[in-house]
Structures are given as C-alpha cells and as structure tokens.
Structure 1
Amino acid sequence: MNNMAVPDVSVIVGAYEAMPYLVRCLESVEKQTLGAGRIEIVAVDDGSTDGTGEYLEKFAAESAVPTRVVRQANSGGPSGPRNVGLSLARGRYVFFLDADDYFGEEALERMVAMADRAGTDVVLGKVEGVNRTAPSSMWGRTVERVDLYNSRAIFTLSAQKLFRRDLLTRLDLTFDEGLRTGEDALFTLEAFLRGAGVSIVADHTCYYLVGRDDGKHVTRSGGYVLRFDSARALMRLIADLVPPGVKRDKLMVRPFTITLLQQFTPRLLKESDDVRRHKMELAAPLMAEHWTPGLAARLKVNERLRLECVARGRLDLLLDVLTFIRDGAAPEVVRKGGMTYLAFPHFGSPGAGVPDVTYEVTVNDWSGKRRVEPARTIRRPGPLARWAVRRVRGRVRALTARG
C-alpha cells in the first residue's frame, strides 16, 4: 500500500460493532466507478467484539482496493477512529464513510470531478435515507460553489463529505475527541468557513444513510448534557470565525434550532422539575451570549417564543407554550399596526413581560394548517395579475399614441 501512487481519495471507515452492515459498506467502495487504483481504504476497528476486526482483515487481504486496517481499544466515540484514519490517509481527498452506510456507485467519481472542476475544498453529495430520514432541503440543484450564508448546506454538517486533504492538513483540523455528540458538525462547519468553497452534487445519490435495525446508530445515543456541549461548541466556533451581524445570525440559526431548541419541545412536559431547571441553567449562558434580535427575526413564532422564554428564565411561561403546542392548538392570527402576529399563550399580556414583537410573523409560518406570511412580504403577482398589468400598459400606450 505504501508503494502505490497517491490515490485520489482516502476512504476512512471507523467501525465499531458494525456487522453485518460493514459488508455492504465495503462492497460499495469496491464498486466505485472511480476505480480501485484511485482509492485507498483506511479502516479502524474501535474495539469491536462482533467480528468487525476480523472481517476487515479478511477484506484487506482479498480486495483490489488497497486497504490498511488498524485495530485499537474502544475509544468511546467516532472521533478517535476518524482521527487515526486521517493521520494515515494519503489521498488528495478524504471521505469519512460510516460503517453502517454505503456509497452510490458513481459517488466518488462525481464528487472528485466536481472538486477538481470547481476548485472547492468540500463537496456535498446527495444523501438518501434507508430505514431512516435524511436531510433533503439542500439537494434542489447541483451547484459548483454555494453561497454558504444563503444556502441550506449548513443544515447538513455530518462528516460524510469529500474534503480536500490539503485543507485539513493546513488547518490541522481534526475531530474534537472531547465531544461525544456533534463533533462532526464542528469539524465540517470549520472546513466550510475556512476552506476555499463548498460544492453540491444533487443530481445523483452519492450516499445512503442507513438506520440500523438494532437502533445503535451513534447519533441516537447520549444524554441532554452532551447536546448542550455540542451547541456550545458550535456557537463558539461561529462567533470566533464570523463577525457580529447578518452573516453570523444566519449561521446561528443552525445550532439554535437543530440542537438547542430540541431540548425545549413538548417532551419537556414529561421530564422532572430537576431536569427542566437544569436545562434552563445550561441554556442561560448560551442565550445571554449569542441570542440577538437579528437571529430571533429569522425564526418561526413558536421557535422564537420558546427561546425567548428560555432567555428570560421563564420556565412557567415556557410550559404554557409547550402545553399549547402539545395539544395541537392553532394560534389566532392577529393583524394590527400593519403587522401580523400569532397569538400563542400570553400574547398581549403585560403581566407576562414578553413583548408583542416576539409573536410577530417575520418568516413564512403556520397557524394550524393555514399558511401565514409576514405582513411586509411582497408576493410576486400571479399569471392572471401579470396579464392584467400588460393589458393596462398596452391600453395606456395606445391612448398615448393617439394623443
């Protein structure tokens, strides 16, 4: 393996108790149209006891794809194996392939071609879920170079992407082994922000994200404290790399809605008073440091209201809002002063101390099944309206020509 030419891609596979999913995973690497001579595999068995390590060694001895196997004691998470694999990788690009998942056949060929053509450092290949949901909003079209601040790319920060290895080496970028969840989001977002651009391959399924029948997928594990650790780390990274203002607010939407807000859903109603108070305590410094009016204006009313209750330390109000949401109630749509509001609990109540602006519709929102738009949104005229405007303009021109 050490004597082979520099491969285009080093596929890094961290594996723990990965059988039988590992079989299809490695077969998908062998089937790549990029060709075995342009790929290497660096596989790290993280202390498995189900035959994962033995299967890796058997595969390495028989496969046409050059494969290096490392067997180590269990590290407790995916960061350790990925970092070991990254330290041994020699390819121009690296791809972190989870042992449960598998590639589409043309995945690496298409992503390498995109990176070479566009000169970008990260390529996102379309993901499809198998026995689980997968992110979908960012796969609308193939883009050589996305505008990160006006793209849905920040809502897919898992590590399963093509990274230019020179970027990772230059930044000395590795996975934070102190984080037990969200470590891939931290790694990927830093590559997004400090790299030479991000591309999207949306016209071909490159990656199949598999939900294990035994429910042991790593993203499903870990307590709520770990989620706060993840949110804190991601918010700090954004604050360190992006100055205050519109761009920072746009990026902050991700950790606030995907990570922090998920701790304050109707599930909180079933948790103990101690857990509720602890979550409020963990969230308080994050809200104090990073919650801004610009960020708040980018959220739906129910999202903003819940976080505003957290920011104000009003667990009592938050529980009222969560009960309203749990019961499936539709907030009344209120229009006043040229603005549109959704009357969730405590709207217009001076005693609650939550200002009306918290309830203002600032992005497209919903009241039950009814779509509600911001009052200041100017909608593009429909076909009939555009036809009428053309008729009127034509009539005006005709009358003007006649004097």
Structure 2
Amino acid sequence: MTVPQPDVTVVIGAYEAMPYLVECLASVQAQTLGPGRIEVIAVDDGSTDGTGEYLEEFAGRAPMPVTVIRQENSGGPSGPRNVGLGKAAGRYVFFLDADDRLGPEALERMVAMADRNATDVVLGRVEGVNRKAPQSMWGRTLDRTDVFSSNIKFTLSAQKLFRRSLLERHGMRFDESLWTGEDALFTMEAYLRADGVSVLADHTCYYLVGREDGKHVTKSGSYTLRFDSARALMRLIAEMVPAGPQRDMLMVRPFLVTLLPQFGPKYLKDSDEVRRTKFDLAKPLMETYWTDGVARSLKVNERLRLHLVAAGRPELLKDVLEFMRAKKQPAAVLERKGRRVYLAYPHFRDGSAAVPDAVYLAEPREARGVPGHREDRVDTLLRRVARRARRVMPSREAGPGGRRAAA
C-alpha cells in the first residue's frame, strides 16, 4: 500500500531545548491540518538535558509520523536543519525552532495559501513572547508578492513555509560554515528564486519565544561572526541581482540590520583593538557594496555613521555616537524655502571634517515631521508613482515571484 505524500514536513532542530520543547511539540500536535498530512523530522543535536528522550517519547504517541534522529553536536542550527531537509518527503517544508511554537491552524492556513496562489514561500505572521519579533511586513495579507514589492527582506529567519521542489531544484541547503545569519542567506535565496511569495498577516502562525536563560542562537557569537554573515548575504545579493535600484533596495537589509549595529552605542565600549578590527572588516564591504542608492534609503544618522566607516574616520564616528548616546536632537537646517532639510549632526559643514552636505540631507519621509518643511511637489509625485508601480509590479511587471529581476 502506497503511503500518501504529506503536505508538510516540519523540521525541528533541537539542542538543549527543555522545557520549551514541550510546548513546541504540543503546538505541532494541535495543528488542524490532518495528522496524515504532516510528518515531523526532529534532529537532536547532541543534547544532554533530556531533549532527545522527550522527542522519542513524543514520537511514540503522536498522531502523525515522527522521525527522531540523534547526532553529535554540530555547533549550530544549520546541520540539524540540513539533516531534516534531506529526509523530508512533504510537498512543503516548515522549519520550527524547538524553543518556539506554532500558532493554531498555522500549517492549514499556510498550505492553503500556497496552494491557492501557487506560491513557493509563505510568511505567516510572527509574534514575540519575551522578545521582539519583526513587524514591518505584517501590514496586510498579500496573496502574491516578491522581495522587491514588499517589506519581506526584513524577515529572513527560516520559520516559513517553503515549497520543497523549489529547494531541491536549486540544491538549497543552509550554509554550515556560518555560525549566525545562515537563515538569512537561505531565505533571501528562496525569495529571489521563488515563483511568488505569500504573506499571511491576519493570523498569528508563529510564536517567537525568548528563553529566560538567555540561551538563544541569535544572541551568541562574537562580533566577527556578524561580519561573516553580512559578507555572505551581500555576496549572494550581488550574485543574483544586477547592479541598480533593486540590488540597492536589498542591500539595505545587511547594511542596516547586520553591519550598522557594529557601529552603534556598543562601539563606544569597545577596546581600541576591536574598533580597529571592525573598521578593517568593514572596509572591503563598504568598498564593494556601499552605493549612493543604499545611502539614500537610510536615515541621516544611519547614513552618516556608515559614511564615516566607509571613509575610515573613526574619530568622527566617535563624536556622532557620543552625541546620540546623550540623546541630543540635531538642529534642522531648512533651505530652498523649507523644501530641503539638513539634520545637523556633529561635523555638519565643518570644513576640517569635509563630510559632504548630502550625507546630512533628510529624505522626504524623515523630513516630514520637521517644522517649516514643505514637501517638494516633484518628490510627492514620484512617491505616488512609485507606490502605484509597487501595487501592480507582482502581477504585471515582475512576473511570477519577480524572477525577471533576479535573473
């Protein structure tokens, strides 16, 4: 008798996951998608706290088929996920962290959305429990979009529904050489290769749980690993997207989320040696990937800091960070009858610093709240045209999943 193919393989990589694993597995068992339509591949990555034993106990009583694999510790989440993906038989794969849990009806709703819209990736709304969760992409449910027409580039964690044929066709696996950010690399590649992405924003599908013991992979690792992560993601984007506005749009993500925090308030507490190393690690990334298009997409304080990193000016960066740490607000300098706004952070129009005025120029969205600012009618018109273009791009221009842009 032929066993029907499951709709979803839930891959759970688990390391020292007790007691969080109890609620995680309970959330899988409570799914409304029929148990015959789900399989679970759970990989215990060398736990010593009873995680492996609890997985085996769950496998013995679960209504759906559960395969438990126990292995030596691999040191990170990529290995267990790859092992689980290699064993998966479902039409779709969902990567569930053992600390977290699924929302009610999550798998049923995500599978239905993917089937209805023939999309390769589905993002279900995420809520944080004792930790922050991404928010900017949940404005509305989108049946079919792509990474260029929405805010999904700001959620690159692996906890999404992926069509397995997409992953197998392109031989996609998690990069086991990366100790952090491996999911960002995997998910961005999936977005770029996908024949459409769906966003399910009106139902919580995933609860991102902050561990009380602080043992969460995203908090671990030295600062050098963050540079490794940024470098890998920037390289992937450059390889898959031609130079131009769309590449710049995606590059904002690694610059803003991964690189910029290395030159935030923590930088003031770093030793001189660490500061020098951070500038050395950033230099090739800035030389290769930092463009005017990326810079224009950032707020003034973000753009200024990265400009000073690119220019190799640590002494000026320190002044800016101390200004920010003191929670000072920069004076607004209005020109052209209020249509141009500069935010006068340290070294604005300081001849000895020689930082270009353009670095301090507030883009329309940042200038909007400044008293006396008057929007340029041309800028307003361009924004309206851009919004209209984004609304029609997924169906008329980009084709399925934005493949034309990613080719």
TM-score with structure 1 setting the length: 0.91
In structure 2, the residue matched to 1:353 is 354
Contact 1:365 1:371 in 2 (8 A): no
- Quote the residue 2:342 is aligned against: 341
- Contact 2:340-2:373 at 8 Å conserved across structures: no
Which residue does 1:60 correspond to in 2? 59
Offset of 1:140 from its aligned partner?
1.0
* Code of the aligned partner of 1:264: F
The alignment-based identity, stated in percent, is 64
Which residue identity is paired with 1:197?
G
**In the alignment, what sits opposite 1:376?**
376
Letter in 1 for 2:343: L
Alignment match, 2:274: 275
Shift of 1:370: 5.7
1:9 aligns with 2:8: yes
Match of 1:293 in 2: 292
Partner secondary structure for residue 205 of structure 2? strand
Give distance in 2, aligned partners of 1:4 and 1:22. 28
1:235-283, Cα deviation, whole Å (9 max, x unpaired): 0000000001110010011000000001000211111111111000000
Inter-partner Cα distance in structure 1 for 2:210 and 2:176: 24
Partner residue, 1:106:
105
Could you tell me which residue of structure 2 aligns to residue 310 of structure 1? 309
Alpha-carbon shift at residue 207 of structure 1 (Å): 0.4
Secondary structure at 2:276's aligned position in 1?
Answer: helix
| 1:52-92, Cα deviation, whole Å (9 max, x unpaired) | 00011111111111000000000000000000000000000
TM superposition score normalised by structure 2: 0.90
2:291 is aligned with what amino acid?
Answer: T
Secondary structure of the equivalent of 1:149? coil
Name the stretch that deviates more: 314-323 or 346-355.
Answer: 346-355
What's 2:236 paired with?
Answer: 237
Q: Aligned-residue CA RMSD in angstroms?
A: 1.7
Mapping of residues 131-280 of structure 1, within 5 Å: 131-280=130-279
Contact 2:332 2:370 in 1 (8 A): no
**CA deviation digits over 1:80-122, x for unaligned, max 9?**
0000000000000000000001111110010000000111100
In structure 2, relative to structure 1, the CA distance for the partners of 1:219 and 1:148 (3 Å cut) is: same
For 1:319, the equivalent position in structure 2 comes to: 318
Q: For residues 203-249 of structure 1, what are the alpha-carbon distances to aligned partners after superposition, in whole Å with 9 as ceiling and x for unaligned?
A: 10000000001000111101100000000000000000000111001
Task: Name the amino acid aligned to 1:348.
Answer: R
Q: Helix, strand or coil for the counterpart of 2:24?
A: helix
Matches of 1:208 and 1:96 in 2, distance apart? 13
User: Contact between 1:77 and 1:180, CA under 8 Å: does it hold in 2?
Assistant: yes
Q: Distance in 1 between matches of 2:182 and 2:321?
A: 29
Partner of 2:398: none
Aligned twin of 1:364 = 365
Q: Note closer, same or farther for the CA distance 1:371–1:178 as it changes in structure 2 (3 Å cut).
A: farther
Looking at structure 1, the residues matched to 276 and 131 of structure 2 have their Cα atoms a distance apart, in angstroms, of 32
Q: What is the CA-CA distance between 1:12 and the residue it aligns to? A: 0.1
**8 Å Cα contact 2:143-2:198 kept in structure 1:** yes
Deviation at 1:365, TM superposition (A): 2.3
Amino acid at match of 1:86: L
* Larger RCO: 1 or 2 (CA < 8 Å, sep 6+): 2
Q: Secondary structure at the match of 1:144?
A: strand
Is the 8 Å Cα contact of residues 146 and 191 (structure 2) preserved in structure 1?
Answer: no
**Displacement of 1:349 after TM fit?**
1.2
Gaps of 5+ in 2: 382-407
CA distance in 2, matches of 1:344, 1:48: 50
Structure 2 CA distance for partners of 1:50 and 1:314, relative to 1, 3 Å: same
- Relative to structure 1, the CA distance from residue 371 to residue 32 in structure 2 (aligned partners, 3 Å threshold; closer, same or farther) is farther
Shift of 1:363: 4.3
Tell me the CA shift for residue 175 of structure 1: 0.1
TM-fit CA distance, 1:4 = 3.0
Aligned twin of 1:385 = none
Q: Which amino acid aligns with 2:156?
A: L
Q: CA deviation at 1:379?
A: 5.9
Letter in 2 for 1:42: I
Give me the whole-angstrom Cα distance separating, in 1, the residues matched to 2:373 and 2:175: 41
Contact 1:365/1:372 (CA < 8 Å) preserved in 2?
no
Contact 1:123 1:163 in 2 (8 A): yes
**8 A Cα contact 2:334 2:373, kept in partner:** no
SS of residue matched to 1:97:
strand
Distance in 2 between residues matched to 1:363 and 1:75, nearest whole Å: 48
Which shows bigger deviation, 331-340 or 369-378?
A: 369-378
Distance apart, 1:147 and its partner CA: 3.9
Which residues of 2 match residues 41-80 of structure 1 at below 5 A? 41-80=40-79
Q: Can you list the C-alpha shifts for 1:108-165, whole angstroms capped at 9, x where unaligned?
A: 0100000001111000000011111111111111101124213110100000000000
1:129 is aligned to 2:128:
yes
Partner of 1:384: none
Q: Quick one: which amino acid aligns to residue 328 of structure 1? A: K
Which structure 1 residue ranges, 5 or more long, are not aligned? 381-403
